[in-house]
Structures are given as structure tokens and as C-alpha cells.
Amino acid sequence: MMIQIEHLDKQYGVFTALVDINLTVLAGEFIAILGPSGCGKTTLLKLLAGFIKPTAGQIMLNGELVGSAHSLKPPEKRNLGMVFQSFALWPHMTVEEHILFPLKHHRFAEAKRKQDQRARVDTVLQMVGLESLKKRYPSELSGGQGQRVALARAIAPRPSILLMDEPLSALDAELRIEMRKEIQTIHRQTGTTVVYVTHDQGEALAMADRIVVMNQGRVEQVDSPETIYTRPKSVFVSRFVGKSNVMEGQWISTDTFMPKGFPSVQWKDLGVSLELKRQNVYPIRPEQWKLEEPSPGQLNGKVLFAQFQGNEVHYTVSVEEQLLTIYSPIYEKRYEPGNEVSVRLRIPANLLLRI
């Protein structure tokens, strides 16, 4: 176990930022901390880094107690690498000097000899694809290249844990997606344990081994990206990850749901968690709906918006005062704002046999 967090609380004065956080991270895991603005993601990362002290509970890194209300091991003694949103490069240092610097000064750096340090700089430059730019200064780099320097600087001393706080948010959309792959590749090559803070579900789903979904200072769910997406445990997770429409009604048996107000409609279970069944709700992701012509007894409604998105059309449909978000493939029949439609649950062909 690389990281163990037990009953961790953090208060800023009277404000409670984190409540009873428990989390275990294995060596080499890539963990994403995902949640909306203000939910406490950065606070958790700062506690892991040792910038701030817990109010209660404890943090162990590599089996050693490093943070509690009574003790705090300082950041420079925790063998961590860090990459932040504002990647803070030093304007007077070239790319290679950025990478050399932590090797000379980091107390955990393995490379003590000058020759080893140079070799390490070359290896890291190669990993992030910056060999040809090593003599450049930050002002001569693009945003993506600058972020690669920050990443290289963080991994050069081979930290056992790499903490990243929204490292891609300063980059444009295309570059963000490109850098996801690069970070994943570097993670695979180095085997470093990664804790990656983001509010972007796409990043968390694409990169992490496990996602910690946070809401208002608490952990809502910790699971693999696929489980988080397909079997959310709470209404919050189903809405935040996957933009589900949460339908109220009743689970009349373990695998049949009757939406409220539509007694003639029954939906089969396409993977709803026990926790949500207990709350008598059914989360339906936008791509799980299908639009058809209106028919009696069905969930009939009216299209309010239709947005062409290239691969899909995104609809907003009002059904009984509720606004549903629906994504349809573009090859299906199109509807326009004002059209009357019926909304059905799309059952994937491979599940039809089981149901």
C-alpha cells in the first residue's frame, strides 16, 4: 500500500472542507480525484503533499505516518513529485536545466553523480518528447511543451508518488486529449503511483485505474471508471459522471422499475446499483434513451432543443415537467424543437437476450 488515508478531516476555521475521508491506494495505481469545484479535491492533495495539517485522522505514505493533527512530515521529505495547473516554470532556466535542478537538489534523487544526472535528464527528455528543445527557455515553448517540462521536472527524481492538480486545464481541448495519452504512457513507463485531481469526468474516465468521486468534502464512491459510469452508487455520482437523468418511481421487483406517473411503462434493470434501487430511482444516461413517435401509455413529451454535435444530436425533451437530456446517433430519425415524441429506454441488443 502506497497511501493510506484514515478518517481524515480538514477544517479551515469553522469551515469543514473534508469529512471522514478513507482511502487506500496501491503502489503503481493511477487514482483520479473527481468532483465539482469546491468539493475539497485540492485540500486532499495539499494534505497528501504535506502543505497543510489534518484536523483529525491520519495519512500514511509507504507505511509511515506522515500527517495527523499532531505531526506533519514536511513536503520535501515525502519523496513526491508535483505538477500543478499553472506549471510555474523558471524563466531563466532552459528545459534541461529544469530537469537537472531537482536531480541536484532533491534529497531522494538516486542520481548523485553528474554523469548519472545527465543520463537521467536525457531519458526523461525522451519520455516527454522534448530532446530537440532542451536548450530552449520557457518563453520559447508552447503551452503543451511547457506542461511537458513541468511533468519531466516532477518525474526526474523518480518520486514514489506523483501528485497532479488539474495539470491540463491550461491547455486547449485538443492538446488536453493528446497529453492524457502521454501522461498515461509515462505512468506505465515509470510505475509511479499517481494521484490526479480533476473536475473533468472525461479525464478521470480515460486515465485512472480507480476514480474517487467527491462531493462537498465527502467521498461518494471509489471504483473503476467503468463501474463509476455504469453502476453509480448515488444520485450525485450518476448525475456528475455520465449526466444521468434520475427518474423517480418504484422498483416493483429486483429487476423491474415503474417510472412515477406512467403505470403502463416498465423498465428492465440495465445495471442499477443496489443503493439506487433502495432509493427507488433509475438513473438513465442521455445515450440510453431513444426517441420515437408518440404513442399512448408511453412517456410522451415535446422536443425543446435539438443540437447537432457531429456524431450525435443532443436533445432536451420535456416530459411531465421534467427536462430530459437525450443523445441520439445521427443516423436515427431526427426531431425538431416543437415535435411531439415518445421517450423509451434503449435496450442494448446484447442485453435483449438476457431480459
Given a contact cutoff of 8 angstroms between Cβ atoms, the answer to whether 225 and 204 are in contact is: yes
Q: CA 344 → CA 12, 242, 281, 324, 347, distances in Å?
A: 47, 18, 16, 11, 9
The cell for 50 is 504535506
Q: How far is the CB of 49 from ligand ATP (least distance, A)?
A: 12
Is the dihedral angle over the CA atoms 224, 195, 164, 59 positive or is it negative? Answer: positive
If DSSP codes are grouped into helix, strand and coil, which group holds residue 59? Answer: strand
Q: How far is the CB of 17 from ligand ATP (least distance, A)?
A: 4
Sheet strand arrangement including 193-198: 80-84, 161-165, 193-198, 30-34, 210-215, 218-223
Residue 37 beta carbon to ligand ATP: minimum distance, rounded to whole angstroms: 3
- # of chain residues touching ligand ATP (CB under 6 A): 12
Beta strands 245-253 and 64-68: pairing type?
Answer: unpaired
Q: What are the residues whose beta carbons fall under 8 Å from the beta carbon of 50, sequence distance 6 or more? A: 66, 67, 72, 73, 74, 75, 77, 78, 80
Cβ-based nearer residue to ligand ATP, 40 or 157: 40
Which residue lies nearer to ligand ATP by CB, 138 or 217? 217
Kindly state the smallest distance separating residue 272's Cβ from ligand ATP, in Å: 28
Which is nearest to 81 in space by CA: 54, 103, 114, 112?
103
Stretch that binds ligand ATP, among 10-18, 99-107, 132-140, 241-249 (CB under 6 A): 10-18
Question: Taking CA 184 as the corner, what is the angle to CA 180 and CA 186, rounded to the nearest 5 degrees?
Answer: 120
Shortest distance, CB of residue 14 to ligand ATP, whole angstroms?
9
Least separation in angstroms between residue 286's CB and ligand ATP is 24
CB nearer ligand ATP, residue 170 or residue 347: 170
Selected from 14, 15, 113, 349, the binder of ligand ATP by CB under 6 A is 15
**Cβ proximity to ligand ATP, 18 vs 324, nearer residue:** 18
Residue with Cβ nearer ligand ATP (122 or 200):
200
Q: Which of residues 164-223 bind ligand ATP (CB under 6 A)?
A: 199
| Residues from 146 through 165 that contact ligand ATP (CB under 6 A) | none
Q: In the 8-state DSSP scheme, what is residue 72? A: B
Alpha helices (runs of H) in 50-165, residue ranges in sequence order: 95-105, 114-127, 143-155
* 128 versus 214: smaller Cβ distance to ligand ATP: 214
Q: Min. distance of Cβ 87 from ligand ATP in angstroms?
A: 16
For strand 30-34 and strand 193-198, is the pairing parallel, antiparallel, or unpaired? parallel
Residues 20-49 contacting ligand ATP, CB under 6 A: 35, 37-43
- The residue within the footprint of ligand ATP, chosen from 1, 7, 12, 110 (CB under 6 A), is 12
* Nearer of residues 12 and 90 to ligand ATP, judged by Cβ: 12
**Selected range binding ligand ATP among 9-17, 149-157, 263-271, 329-337, rule: CB under 6 A:** 9-17
> Quick one: 166 or 223, whose CB is closer to ligand ATP?
166
Sheet holding 56-61, edge to edge: 15-25, 3-12, 56-61, 64-68
Residues that bind ligand ATP (CB under 6 A): 12, 15, 17, 35, 37-43, 199
